[in-house]
Structure 1
Amino acid sequence: MTRKAGFDPVVDAKTRLLILGSLPGDASLRAAQYYGHPRNAFWRLIGGVIDQDLAGLPYDDRLARLRAAGIGLWDVIASAERPGSLDAAIRRPEAADLRGLVESLPALRAVAFNGGTAARLGRAVLAAPPAGVTLIDLPSSSPAHARPFDQKAEAWAALAGALDQRRTGQAG
């Protein structure tokens, strides 16, 4: 079985919120884009958090808007064997260096896990997050998880607190 590898992190020194998925699915890998499946709700969900319509923008513009808002992206798994795109099919995962990345981000206030697999694996690595960094579990943006969009959007709206620049060093 072929190993599938994730993408490089999309972060900079101003990243206040890091959103972690599990491992890009086949559509994302083919497109070489985070959340590249046309039915994945990620771009609509995070666009709602920052009050911008990201879904219709070219990919590089989406990433630029995320960086400008203080949002970074990465995955908890660096590579794994997986037929298809479902997290349940992941075998022999190699963990990404989450702790190293998190500790390298001076403005980081929160790490959000996009879905159950990302939360389970990410929380195992970040069980004791750096001071001032909050861990947040989110419902998956994947089309494989059929929770209604409005329920997902309500949960994702909690991310806005991590982006509020008026707050002190405390994560929300």
Structure 2
Amino acid sequence: MPSTKQKKKQYETVKHTFEPVYDENSKILILGSFPSVKSREQAFYYGHPQNRFWKVIAKITGQEVPKTIEQKKRLLRSRHIAIWDVIDSCEIIGSSDSSIRNVKVNDIQSILKNSKIQAIYANGAKAYRLFQRYVTDVEGYPLHQLPSTSPANAAWDFERLCEAWKEIL
């Protein structure tokens, strides 16, 4: 009998289960691709302890790194930042963005209609490409690609990430 490590990882159909964070005063929208396994377990964005998203946002805004979901929401809202993911549901193996297939996108228009979004930022190349490929009903909003805060993006150290992410301010 093959060990757990020897078993081929299987695709699973997964639905995004938590809401976007925004309010009527949100001015920028940061989009990820799809929540990681850790984020899905925590039911909130960027839940993997090695993901640098919250550290980067705290550093560039001069705030303390938020620990709880409520602190994270407060930080975003205080800086007029909205976050969500491009994908509502897909087939995926674990947290592997490269395995994503059979995509259904989130209704990005719902945020745009109910806020003051001026620009959209993609957290990484995958989110950028997914947006360009699948989101067809959004026009008139500049789309910017930022380097991914994922631990898989080892080419970008923390200081370099922060420098690039200052663009959202």
- Normalising TM by the smaller chain, what interval? 0.7 to 0.9
2:25 to 14, 28, 52: 14
The alpha carbon displacement at 1:127 in A equals 8.1
Please say if residues 18 and 74 of structure 1, whose CA atoms lie closer than 8 Å, have aligned partners that are also in contact.
yes
Match of 1:5 in 2: 15
The alpha carbon displacement at 1:157 in A equals 0.8
1:83 to 75, 93, 102: 93
Match of 2:5 in 1: none
Q: What's the Cα RMSD here?
A: 1.7
Q: Any idea what SS the aligned residue of 2:98 has?
A: helix
Question: 1:66, 1:100 → 2: CA distance?
Answer: 18
TM-score by length of 1: 0.83
Question: 2:137, 2:58 → 1: CA distance?
Answer: 28
Query: CA, structure 1 residues 35+86, in 2 after alignment: closer, same or farther (shift >3 Å)?
Result: same
Q: How does 1:34-113 map to 2 (within 5 A)?
A: 34-55=45-66, 57-105=67-115, 107-113=116-122
The alpha carbon displacement at 1:126 in A equals 5.8
The alpha carbon displacement at 1:123 in A equals 3.0
The alpha carbon displacement at 1:99 in A equals 3.2
Please say if residues 22 and 111 of structure 2, whose CA atoms lie closer than 8 Å, have aligned partners that are also in contact.
no
TM-score by length of 2: 0.85
Please say if residues 41 and 141 of structure 1, whose CA atoms lie closer than 8 Å, have aligned partners that are also in contact.
yes
The alpha carbon displacement at 1:115 in A equals 0.7
Please say if residues 98 and 122 of structure 1, whose CA atoms lie closer than 8 Å, have aligned partners that are also in contact.
no
The alpha carbon displacement at 1:158 in A equals 0.9
> Once the two structures are superposed, what CA deviation does each residue of 1:65-120 show, in whole Å capped at 9, x if it has no partner?
21121011100000111111121011211111123432332x21111100111111
Please say if residues 99 and 126 of structure 1, whose CA atoms lie closer than 8 Å, have aligned partners that are also in contact.
no
Equivalent residue letter for 1:87: D
Equivalent residue letter for 1:144: A
Question: 1:49, 1:129 → 2: CA distance?
Answer: 28
Match of 1:150 in 2: 159
Identity across matched positions, percent: 36
Question: 2:122, 2:35 → 1: CA distance?
Answer: 14
The alpha carbon displacement at 1:64 in A equals 1.4
The count of aligned residue pairs is 156
Question: For the pair shown, which has the larger CA radius of gyration, 1 or 2?
Answer: 2
Query: CA, structure 1 residues 35+112, in 2 after alignment: closer, same or farther (shift >3 Å)?
Result: same
Q: Any idea what SS the aligned residue of 2:122 has?
A: strand
Equivalent residue letter for 1:84: G
Q: List, as ranges, runs of 4+ consecutive aligned residues in structure 1 with deviation greater than 3 Å.
A: none
